Structure 1
């Protein structure tokens, strides 16, 4: 009997017990952003530690940080085999507005083969799956084919403020051959995906100041600079009519797509017409020479996120605004450095600043881009495990968004990162009625178990 057949039998036999155990975890209101749930965060960490003990892991600890604790565990009894570091988080988003939930957010409920509860998909359900995959291998083989380490944090939903320091301090303890994360999703229902890259993020605020106060447009109009016009000139200078960024040096370090990557994206047969209907536009927009997936996964951006200044109330007010501002963010791709990009933005603004105003630039938080090479053995092994269970080709994708802690792992530990998720974009994570399709819970358990066998055959 193949190991996948044995996994099928084990998970089918234990499904009810596993769901009952997961429901215990989901009932804990571990909302990291609300101080009244501080004790619930400790309860969730303790629950995880106890679950790890039941699985037969070693060196389990609840490590305090400057905020909510990190739960660590390992099992290192497979000499000569690779070591996988599992990462996940046990904290969840707030549940407001509560009245939009069909059933209480911390009372797990199954409807239409979907498990409804806050954290079901993001990320308690997926963290739990890793533990159950290990439990299955212990039950079937009495051992594991690889070495494992766990680092499960309680602050992902508030930006992981203390985790980089924890990782830096514990680099030796966290040493491994790869990092495995299940906090992403499938490409589409029934279509698994390995995400091998994420864009980084940086941002600035531009504040323009003209006169010492708003001026009467009849008395001063045409003779004194209007702060909004000055801001508009600066913003217009950032991009051409196709969205190509005009900041000098902005594209200098952009890593080009390989032909294999471009072909992998083409093979997904992305439906741009369906996208236009979904978002309610008649045509798409972006850099010439790149498909929509290439534009949103592998090309950098510069977007104006908000503009403010002047009079916006009902009717009209004939003034020359003295102040105006804009918030701008850039999604970055390998090998762009957030600090270098901010420096280029500042130089560009200074070069294009109109006469008659002063400009101040403030910086926002930054996150580096991340990529594990598309052809890396741990990426391709993940694709094989998905295909063995889902019985369709695996999609190899990049994420257009940013998960700063993934980039921090990449930079501090310098390990390949494998993002193997089982959620769906329709599962309302961060919103009322969050849920997890149990079809993917069932298949995901088998994928993760199979992946441990796959990794055990690699020379890393």
Structure 2
């Protein structure tokens, strides 16, 4: 479309102005978890409201029990165009430890680096730089022919501190936030020149188990032998959760776990991923998960069971010969496919309870349970967005998984009935949540151009 060629040219010629606007937003210390920055979070929301109004959106700051949301709407050139909901967050992580920053984290700067120029500031990559790629793309399109899709924007101010206000906000504004697809720009490219769409997110079940035995801690010389030891009981239970091949032994655990489609498996196998370096960077060398599965499969498309903490008895300096009255462990399960979190919880608790001796008992504490999410590989919007990214970067768009979980994706699905396209332009090297966070200028520039291409592709 000629109008979009004009929008792309506008992005190129006005790059300095776009960077300047991003710098204005980065200067606002919108740290959501620290109450002393509450006013700055409001200021960031108001800044975004003003920018969106200035380019033609109907935008407003919406109060919540916590930090405000920003909601904005703009219509497409064609009334029958599809409708997208774009999500980003304007809040940022704390900057500690401050002494490790080379300069003021809220004084953004453009620095020269071996791979090109970098924008350095807290929030440069997570998520202000990312959300501004979309805002600037909309600015260019609205100034040169209009939007190819109807656009609703939702900017949140609590993502970095748990999104406590988001579920109620989505429920209360369900009708206003309806769209055909959600676009989430809080993920990575494969590398600096290869675009990616995250299509799979693992779910999470987190259980804490407490094994209790005697009514008090006991002297191991007086009671060692006849008295039950919760640490020994718990250790045996945890050790039995995996077999020698790395498979999880819980009955029914793999129900709902499907094999990858052949073309996706082939694409992953062809990716330039160095498993030895991935492990070597953290001082390891031998993959410890399911035998016969690649490292990428293990972290993107396979379920796991991991022990995240274990404690019992005396853990201070020196020796204390004690049999503890209790021992506890924190155990998490990453889920894929259609695994049922409720069934996983029930299976785990039944397994543990079956191995607890008669004069001991187990207590379970839940720390959350959410299912995995996967965009269908045959999705029309996925095919369109993939083609739009390829037209910008000149490379096949990689469909990747995520070993972690992004709660907003599940909330969009559960509350709004929306699938999400997770298209981001960050890099693993961006040091998000760490000192000297950066965002590649090429990511910012390419991200703006990419959204023009993607919205055009989604419009058909």
- Same fold, judged at TM 0.5 (above): yes
Give the distance between the partners of 1:454 and 1:188, measured in 2 at CA.
23
- For 1:75, the equivalent position in structure 2 comes to 74
Task: Answer yes or no: is the 8 Å Cα contact 1:233–1:354 preserved in 2.
Answer: no
| 1:245 corresponds to which of 244, 248, 271 | 248
Alignment of structure 1 residues 170-319 onto 2, 5 Å:
170-319=173-322
CA apart distance, 1:316: 2.4
| Structure 1 unpaired stretches of 5+ | none
- For 1:85, the equivalent position in structure 2 comes to 85
Give the distance between the partners of 1:144 and 1:133, measured in 2 at CA.
10
Task: Answer yes or no: is the 8 Å Cα contact 1:337–1:368 preserved in 2.
Answer: yes
Task: Answer yes or no: is the 8 Å Cα contact 2:212–2:326 preserved in 1.
Answer: yes
Give the distance between the partners of 1:73 and 1:239, measured in 2 at CA.
49
CA apart distance, 1:68: 1.0
1:140 alignment partner, SS class? coil
**Superposed CA RMSD:** 1.5
CA apart distance, 1:385: 2.0
Alignment of structure 1 residues 26-425 onto 2, 5 Å:
26-58=26-58, 60-77=59-76, 78-112=78-112, 113-141=117-145, 143-425=146-428
CA apart distance, 1:264: 2.2
Deviations 1:197-216 (A, max 9, x none): 11111201111111122212
TM-score (structure 1 length as normaliser): 0.96
CA apart distance, 1:2: 5.5
1:412 alignment partner, SS class? helix
CA apart distance, 1:396: 0.6
Task: Answer yes or no: is the 8 Å Cα contact 1:200–1:370 preserved in 2.
Answer: yes
Give the distance between the partners of 1:324 and 1:396, measured in 2 at CA.
42
CA apart distance, 1:315: 3.0
TM-score (structure 2 length as normaliser): 0.96
How many residue pairs were aligned? 455
CA apart distance, 1:137: 0.8
Task: Answer yes or no: is the 8 Å Cα contact 1:4–1:446 preserved in 2.
Answer: no
Give the distance between the partners of 1:7 and 1:175, measured in 2 at CA.
27
Task: Answer yes or no: is the 8 Å Cα contact 1:224–1:356 preserved in 2.
Answer: no
Deviations 1:406-430 (A, max 9, x none): 1111122222210110001111111
Change in 2 beyond 3 A, CA 1:287/1:341: same
